[in-house]
Amino acid sequence: MRSIRPLFALLITIAVMAISAGSYALDDVPAFGLQELSRLDMLPRFKRSVKVASISSYDRTGGNDDGFSGKYSFVRKEGDGLVIADLKGPGVIYRIWTPTPTDDPIEFYFDGETTPRIAMKYRALFDGTVEPFTAPISGFGSGGFYTYLPLPYSKSCKVIIRAARVQFYQINYATYPDNTPITTYSPAAPELKGSLMADARNVMGMSGKDLSSKVVSPNSNLTTTRASKSIPSGKSVTIFQSANGGRIAGIRLRPASAFAGKDRAMVIRITWDGDKSPAVNCPVGDFFGYSWGDPATRSLMIGTENDTNYVYFPMPYEKSAKIELVNERAGGSAVQVQAEVVTSNVPRSQDEGKFYAVWKRENPTTEGKPFNYVETNGRGHMVGLTLQAQGAVPGITPFFEGDDQAWLDGELALHGTGSEDFFNGGWYDVPGRWEARASYPLSGCLDYIRPQARSGAYRLFLTDAYAFQKSIKMDMEHAPEKNTYVADYVGVTYLYLNQPPTTSWALPSVAQRKVIDPTKLIFNPGWYLPIHSFSIEHATVAKKFEKIGKANERFVSLRGEGQDVFGPHHISFLCNVPASGTYRVLIEPLIGPEGGIVQLFQNEHAIGKQVDLYAEARSKGKLIEMGLLDLHEGQNQVFFKLIGKNEDAKALGFDLVTMTLERVK
């Protein structure tokens, strides 16, 4: 049986009493639940939990049925419901996520009670309008639905959904030492309607704003040190240095565009207390949540706002601190930057970890082995991750079916249901869900670009930090099963540790860091590819699904009659290209009795040959080269015209299965 010292028990009792009163706890007392959302100054403190874990719907056989069938989506059946969690306390549920909410009732039974203290529609947990599950503590976006409202329980918590079937879900929780006097959730608790809840909502709504005053203890004095520096290639500059103990409450660097680009050659180094190696040694862009060299994140703790990079993780140090910027570019003009570092003079306590950021790349990932973010011994907790994942095969992203796996103190404590699920999303490559860049307070999609086989994401852990006493090993799979898809994975892990990582976290050379853009892009217009325009009149466009031979084909279909008002019928697509250059355009059409004559155009100039898609029988055509286009990085129009038809053709049609762009120079 676990035990705690009487003095520690007394301190916890004081903390809980303070929380119940809706006021701040004493600075040297650990806090639980709602206070952890508003008192971000507590984030560096080592956690008092004895176990951090999750319950999820992952496939126990190692397959990919992580919620599709619902086979693994409950602990047991009970009457007309499914028990999805049955937890023993004292503990706190810190996060609930699903991409498949329903209107079925969900019920929370606390401490063995037979009447639920929470009974509501499952979907209402996340829509942000039902007290106390209100925005921005609860929310949704990019296909996922989440709530971070802490649900404490003294003895136990059982969660039931009154439904015949449940699909994907994850519940993160922490268990505390026996006899920890955690007050069980009550809808009538004054803190849910008082200043503590207001503070939590306010803090969670501050993405992109100055958070520095919220990551130090109340009434702390803050000092802002400003520096304007010119950094020649091959040189470093110091933007902040202190020979006294204190803590960093915020770092802001501008312009963010100065650190953009695909070389990952601008580096931030942060060194604590004269340590031999920097605790942070990371490409600047990746540290602030860039997406393949482009500013992309606007979260609570890290991101970019108004061309300014920011980080607000509190960073305590005992004796000294040094922040450097390093320009490892081979040449070019000096980089001009302005920096602001916000500090408090309160030094690190023995109950706090030092802040570390570990940058890691596996290119290629190892077949049969997951991508490893970090593996280290010691005490601490993980508070954030970013991921930039580039597949080796264009036009598909099955690597994002991989699950997250976290070993804490040698035990598999958390096992997820898919990569976008781990980042609070759901259903990648589906319009309106995980298919475009988006930021939320604690998670977001850095990018999803299927033709480039790219997907990126971030997630921050505040109340649900992965705490460990002895060790952590954090992995991410890169395939639906057995890590069979080879890819290029880049990750940043943000942690608080009692000692430097026990495995190497040295930054590799610039050549080993740079972004490698794919040279071949495959677009599937029958699935999802933006249509820029098509004929103004006398034409129809449809997306269709048809069995051709033994295969089922998705395609976009253009049918025209006579002439458009501006001449031949046309269709153009918007294609996102990762790098400027000359690209070969190839199409994979369906041919048949209704096929017309197609030609590639650019600026009303015919490019390449005319291609007759007429055939007596309907079939899938071979890959056909249409011509060369000079394209720029970003969105480009690829424009086709139906310039006529074979005399035997029954219609003027263009059925397109895939379009490929291959960079030739």
List pLDDT tens digits, range 296-330.
999 999 999 999 999 999 999 999 999 999 999 99
Q: Is 6-204's fold the same as 522-663's? A: yes
Indicate the domain borders of the chain. 6-204, 210-352, 354-510, 522-663
Percentage with pLDDT > 90 across the chain = 90
Lowest mean pLDDT segment, chosen from 19-23, 275-279, 405-409: 19-23
Question: What single-letter amino acid sits at 298?
Answer: R
Q: Would you say residue 225 has pLDDT above 70?
A: yes
Mean pLDDT across the chain, nearest whole number?
A: 93
Residue-wise pLDDT tens digits, 556-606: 999 999 999 899 999 999 999 999 999 999 999 999 999 999 999 999 999
Instruction: Tell me which CATH homologous superfamily contains domain 210-352.
Output: Protein of unknown function DUF2961 (2.60.120.1390)
As a whole number, mean pLDDT of residues 379-402 equals: 96
CA dist 174 and 645 (Å) reads 68
pLDDT in tens, 10-62: 333 333 333 333 333 334 445 678 888 989 999 999 999 999 999 999 999 99
Give pLDDT, residue 21. 31
Strand partners, 514: none
The CATH fold assigned to 6-204 is Jelly Rolls (2.60.120)
pLDDT tens, position by position, 106-136: 999 999 999 999 999 999 999 999 999 999 9
Q: Determine the average pLDDT of the residues in 241-262.
A: 97
67 pLDDT above the threshold of 50 = yes
Q: How far apart are CA 124 and CA 630, in angstroms?
A: 50
Chain segment 452-479, per-residue pLDDT in tens: 999 999 999 999 999 999 999 999 999 9
CA distances for 567 relative to 291, 298, 394, 570, 651, angstroms: 41, 46, 35, 9, 17
pTM listed for this prediction: 0.93
Tell me the fold of 522-663: Jelly Rolls (2.60.120)
Span 508-563, pLDDT tens digits: 999 999 999 999 999 999 988 889 999 999 999 999 999 998 899 999 999 999 99
What pLDDT does residue 43 have? 96
pLDDT at 31: 63
As a whole number of angstroms, the distance between CA 283 and CA 266 comes to 6
- pLDDT tens digits along 171-213: 999 999 998 989 999 999 988 988 999 999 999 999 999 999 9
Measure the CA dihedral 479/480/481/486, to 10°.
-10
Determine the pLDDT at residue 179: 87
Residue 96 vs residues 65, 99, 126: alpha-carbon distances, Å = 20, 11, 9
Fold of 354-510: Jelly Rolls (2.60.120)
Q: Look at residue 6 in the predicted model and tell me its pLDDT.
A: 36
Mean pLDDT, residues 609-634 taken together:
96
Exposure string (b/e) for 612-642, b if CB count within 10 Å is 16 or more? Answer: ebbbeeeebbeebebbbbebeeeebebbbbb
Q: Is the pLDDT of residue 342 over 70?
A: yes
- Is residue 654 within 8 Å of 598, Cβ to Cβ? yes
pLDDT digits (tens, 9 = 90+) for 488-505: 999 999 999 999 999 888
Place of tokens 């395939």: 479
